[in-house]
Amino acid sequence: MIQPSFPGGTHPPGHKTATADARSEICPLPAELVIPLAQHVGAPALPCVTAGQWVARGQLVGRANGFVSVPVHASTSGLVTAVEPRPHPCGADLPAVVLQPDGADTWADEYQKQSFHVLSVEAMLERIREAGVVGMGGAAFPTHVKLDPPQGKVIDTVIVNAVECEPWLTADRRVLLEQTEKVLTGLEILQEISGADHAYIGLEDNQPDVARLLAPHCQKRGIGLAVLPTKYPQGAERQLIYAVTGRRVPARGLPMDVGVLVQNVGTIAALTDAVTRGRPLIERMVTISGPAVVRPQNLRVRIGTPVAHLLEHCGVTEEPAMVILGGPMMGSAQHTPAVPVVRGTSGVLAFRRQDLPTTTAGPCVRCGRCVNACPMNLQPTFIADFARRDELELAERFAARNCIECGSCSFICPANIPLVQSIRYAKGAILARRRRI
Amino acid sequence: MKSLLLIMVGAVFVNNFVLARFLGLCPFLGVSKKVETALGMGMAVTFVMVVASACTWLLQYLVLTPFNLDYLQTIAFILVIATLVQMVEMIVRKSSPVLYQSLGIFLPLITTNCAVLGLAVLNIQRNYSFVQSLVFAFGAALGFTLAMVLYAGLRERLTLCPVPRIFRGTPIELITAGLLALAFMGFAGLVPN
Amino acid sequence: MMAAVICLGSLGFVAALLLGMAARRFAVTVDPRQVALMDILAGANCGACGFPGCDAYARALVAGTAKPDLCRPGGAETLKRIATILGVAVTERPPQIAVVRCQGDLQHARLKYAYQGLQDCRAAQKLARGPKLCPAGCLGLGSCVQHCPFDALAIDSRGLAMVNRSRCTGCGLCVTICPRQVLALAPANETIHVLCNNRESSARVKSYCNAGCLGCRLCVRTAPESFVMDSFLAKVRYGYGEPSTMAEAIARCPHHCILNLDEQGNNQTLPTPHSVRERSTP
């Protein structure tokens, strides 16, 4: 069967070989953990511990603040030394619980492994919410919100997002290879909660070994295995849904509008732990890679581990000129290595000075490559120009708000124009103006 | 029928009022910042041109020629056109505020427009019949609108372009207008005058 | 000769008759107050009143749906005349002027990262909350300069926004444009301002910048009636206090962030340099 592919897209070099085939290791605990209270989309959690208090591993340190919010837990046992603003991957200093590990790593409660079949849907959702599970592909949207669609929306298909289209990153791949059973159980849980009849695992064809590994499992359980031609941004929800099912999510709509639920591999693994063992999300797979890293590898990292500790553990050839959290296409460069790994951090990439682009932005040469590359069928060059001149009406008419900020246009632009930044600005300005009026 | 078609094509493309005859340059440069306003102006001009050419044709052949007053042509035509435009403005303003919002603001600009007067004079010079003069007026107005919209589109694009500093603003706009006129020269000779 | 006179005369007469009839028949009444208001309003179409242009504001005024004191560029004079036309009583508001509350140039303020990208403060602010370590400092990319309808703002040689006090009308557009609220409106006759916008504690401010308000309260202790504290940021109580005690407070400020703009004539009073103006026009 020939899979339909989404329009546009680019083919950035993969750089995945360095970390793809090595087994993941457990990252040793750092001297200090910084656990931000805002690690998700929505209201930040409210701290419920004070400085000087001893906390156990998995103990609640921040309560959820509202429906679109999740609790935050201690990643290990130790002493809370402060609750104060600390550097956060978003660039600002935000409130965080600072934890000094005591090395004992004692769990708060002993959890009994339990089959999910005995639990009701509400109980499962409650467990997922209490465990603080959020989308681990990068967006960090609370999973329990996504699993609890408003009345009248019927989900008939669940898709596991194992595409990992960002260069360098292999964390999802390692989760899928090492925790296959967990992911497959999680998929069953998802089907149980959402009532979906169909399930797919979306993969790119640059991982034939994973496809071979999964094929018998999928056959046995009646899961569709969609091996898609490698293209960025295949991992974006809309693009993946179109590539797998051929359904188009409306421009301002959500995947649930076409009856689809997409979850990242890492999220599903975390969700299984939450439901079957009651374990909160305190650890995640992180790819540490990049030209400046001596031993690139995948690590199972406690949430709140400072990036500096990870780089020290893997070794750097020199002081990295740029450290990016997430992938190189959509991740964000950090101004200090003191920022911690949060729930949405899929990778830590370190680059040397010579790896960074030196060319400055030139004038648009009207080649139209950005228009061809845009997976949302937009005209990035025009929207960017409108944004630069503050012609927000025109930008809106050119559907600036449909942009998914995948960065394909900026990547492909031969003149190095910061297209996606301009469009992001336009999006923000349009929304701000709308709020004002 | 064929002659009417020739008159039409000739007026729209070959002897375009703006780009080949260089009539009506003031609105061409003045009201062409945006395609929308250019289109509004074009529509207003179309309306006025057709009505004015009908009135002036009647005036010429019912009043001026019978009384041997051809030398009063220019002043009489200006009078008629100005009155006409003023009246149209009043009527539109009263009867359709919406139309007035989109079209009315352009009407005063047309009052003494050389393109309209030039059209009326050309009608007489070429000995067109009443129907021919109406077709010629419509074609000329269509050509005017075409030139306006094309130029406005170019100007919209121009604002996005990194123009060398000394060319910014009016200079590059005039160069663009010149290039557009050059392009229209490609139609030359398609229809005998 | 006679024929020409009669012909043109009658033509003109007919035209006049027609126009006269049309004028009567198709007369449209416009509130004369609206026309009068249009003459009075500043005509800058700056949008500070919240309406799309002066025309719309005039219409809203006549309709009674807008307050008469919204035209800030026009100031007190316009307000008075609007009130006369509309026949309402209004209280005068002192004229205001924009103040750039930041002195954190590259000599004083530390950078978070080297910014390359769109030359627009609001776009830069979206990238890890701005390239300056201080979350309240002027980014100096000139969004306010580009939007000022009165050409009263510029980026000075230190890379900070500056207000041309003679051109500023206090319309407040820059205040809404600035993503970090560096600009604020202050009474136009006041010359002493605290040129810092950071409410954080002294330790944090010190880690950002050598020219920020530390919240040390020295000024409040020296001139208690002239200064108040807003969290860790000193503020001038405009219209209160003695010049002599204020001068003492200015002298005692450890980071020199209280300034008398009259004495420091070079600050925020320079005419707009031409180069900045050119960048803002397409």
pLDDT in tens, A321-370: 999 999 999 998 898 899 999 999 999 999 999 988 877 888 888 899 99
pLDDT band with cut points at 50, 70 and 90 for residue A2: low
Asked if C15 lies within 8 A of B79 by C-beta distance, the reply is yes
Find the range with the poorest average confidence among A29-38, A118-127, C64-73. Answer: C64-73
State CA C280 to chain mean position distance.
17
Same-domain status, A262 and A188: yes
Domain assignment present for A360: no
Assigned token pair, B190: 């398609």
Q: What is the pLDDT of residue C91?
A: 67
Cα–Cα distances in angstroms (integers) from residue A187 to residues A171, A190, A209, A271, in the given order: 18, 5, 20, 9
Is residue A421 scored above 80 in pLDDT? Answer: yes
- CB contact under 8 Å between A389 and B162, yes or no, is no
Are residues A121 and A132 both part of a single domain? yes
Domain of residue A386 covers 369-436
- A74-83, A226-235, B85-94, C151-160: segment of lowest average pLDDT: B85-94
Residues of chain B neighbouring C278 (CB-CB closer than 8 A)? 165
**Whether A389 contacts chain B with CB within 8 A:** yes
Same domain, A136 and A198: yes
Q: Are residues A289 and A375 in the same domain?
A: no
Q: Could you tell me if residue A174 is inside a domain?
A: yes
Do residues A208 and A231 both lie within one domain? yes
Measured between beta carbons, the chain A residues lying within 8 angstroms of B162 are: 363
Q: Are residues A339 and A211 in the same domain?
A: no
Q: Classify residue A16: in a domain, yes or no.
A: no
The more confidently predicted of residues A4 and A332 is A332
Asked if residue A254 and residue A305 are part of one domain, the reply reads no
Summary mean pLDDT of chain A: 90
Least confident segment among A119-123, C44-48, C84-88, C164-168? C44-48
Distance from CA of B84 to the nearest CA of C (A): 9
CB contact under 8 A, B162 and A382: no
Q: Would you state the pLDDT for residue B103?
A: 65
Verify whether the Cβ–Cβ distance B159 to A389 is below 8 Å.
Answer: yes
pLDDT of residue A63: 92
pTM assigned to the model? 0.78
Amino acid at C80: K
A76, A33 Cβ separation under 8 angstroms: yes
| Angle at B49 (CA atoms; ends B46, B53), nearest 5 degrees | 145
C275 in reach of chain B (CB within 8 A): no
Do B42 and B148 touch, CB atoms closer than 8 A? yes
The residue among C1, C2, C10, C11 with the most chain B CBs within 10 A of its CB, best to mutate, is C11
Show which of A324, A355, A386 is a domain's final residue. A355
Smallest CA–CA distance, residue B131 to chain A, in Å, is 43
- Looking at per-residue pLDDT, the higher value among A111 and A284 belongs to A284
Residue A22 lies in a domain: no
C244-255 mean pLDDT: 88
Residue A313 sits in a domain whose CATH number is 3.10.20.600
Please check whether residues A289 and A262 belong to one and the same domain.
no
Q: How far is B84 from chain A (nearest CA, A)?
A: 37
In-domain check, residue A401: yes
CA angle, A138 then A144 then A148, to 5°: 125
- The whole-angstrom distance between A425's CA and the closest CA on chain C is 5
Residue C239 CA to residue A298 CA, distance in Å, equals 63
**A407: in domain:** yes
Task: Please check whether residue A210 is in contact with residue A247, taking contact to mean a CB–CB distance below 8 angstroms.
Answer: no
Q: How far, in Å, are A432, B94, B143, B173 from residue B155 at the CA level?
A: 29, 34, 18, 7
Q: Which pLDDT band, with edges at 50, 70 and 90, does C267 fall under?
A: very low
The model's confidence at residue C271, banded by pLDDT at 50, 70 and 90, is: very low
| Residue A390 placed within a domain | yes
Which CA distances in Å does A355 have to A291, A320, A362, A409?
A: 8, 10, 20, 20
Are A168 and A262 members of one domain? Answer: yes
For residues A359 and C254, give the distance between their C-alpha atoms in angstroms, rounded to a whole number: 43
pLDDT at A100 (0 to 100):
94
Residue of A72, A255, A54 whose CA lies nearest to A153: A255
B161: closest chain C residue by CA: C282
Task: Tally the domains of chain A.
Answer: 3
The chain C residue lying nearest B75, using CA atoms, is C8
- Place A380 in a pLDDT band, splitting at 50, 70 and 90: very high
The verdict on A190 and A258 lying in the same domain is: yes
Using CB atoms and an 8 Å cut-off, which of residues 338-377 of chain A contact chain B?
Answer: 363
Which of B160, B161, B165 is best to mutate for the A interface (most A CBs within 10 A)? B160
pLDDT band at B104 (very low <50, low <70, confident <90, very high): low
Final residue of a structural domain among A304, A320, A355: A355
Residue A398, in any domain of the structure: yes
A306 and A384 in a single domain? The answer is no
Average pLDDT over residues B133-161: 91
- Of A225 and A252, which is predicted with more confidence? A225
Substitution target in A421, A430, A437 with the highest count of C β-carbons within 10 Å is A421
SS3 at position A45:
coil
> Interface pTM (ipTM) of the complex?
0.74
CATH number, domain with residue A221: 3.40.50.11540
pLDDT at C280 over 70: no
Other CB atoms within a 10 A radius of the CB of residue B171 amount to 12
Residues with Cβ < 8 Å from A434, sequence gap 6 or more? none
Share of chain C above pLDDT 90, in %: 14
pLDDT tens-place string over residues B26-78 = 888 878 888 888 888 888 889 889 999 999 999 999 989 988 888 889 999 99
Last residue of one domain, picked from the residues A355, A382, A397 = A355
- Per the document, the length of chain A is 437
My answer on whether A126 and A272 are in the same domain is: yes
pLDDT-derived band of residue A110, with 50, 70 and 90 as boundaries? low
Say what percent of chain B tops pLDDT 70: 96
